[in-house]
Amino acid sequence: MARPKAELPPAAAIRALADDENRLAVRVTPGARIEALEIADGKLLAKVRARPEEGKANAAVIALVAAGLGLAASRLRMLRGATSREKLLQIGD
């Protein structure tokens, strides 16, 4: 049975959370049952299936946020939070 597609808010809503320097703060839940992006209390919450082992969850977060923004994953860069649930991503132009 195929996995359902990730639940994603509109790209404009995600972009609205970025600051003036195109930085986006993300709170991550690794090992979740479903993959989803949610906006709660003005923050982006990312739920990924990948476990936090050897950077797998970080790669999954970047791929999920890129899909939500309609960008290639290579357009996002992690600035801070490689070993934390709180991440700061840079959206490239």
pLDDT at 71: 95
Residues 6 or more apart from 22 whose CB is under 8 A from it?
90, 91, 92, 93
Residue 62's φ and ψ, nearest 5 degrees, are: -60, -45
CA–CA separation, 54 vs 36, rounded Å?
21
DSSP 7: B
Q: Which domains does the chain have, with CATH numbers?
A: 11-91 (3.30.1200.10)
Q: What is the pTM of this model?
A: 0.92
Cβ atoms of 70 and 11 within 8 Å: the answer is: yes
pLDDT at 6: 74
pLDDT at 2: 61
pLDDT at 1: 57
pLDDT at 37: 96
Tens of pLDDT along the chain (93 residues)? Answer: 566 677 799 999 999 999 999 999 999 999 999 999 999 988 999 999 999 999 999 999 999 999 999 999 999 999 999 999 999 999 987
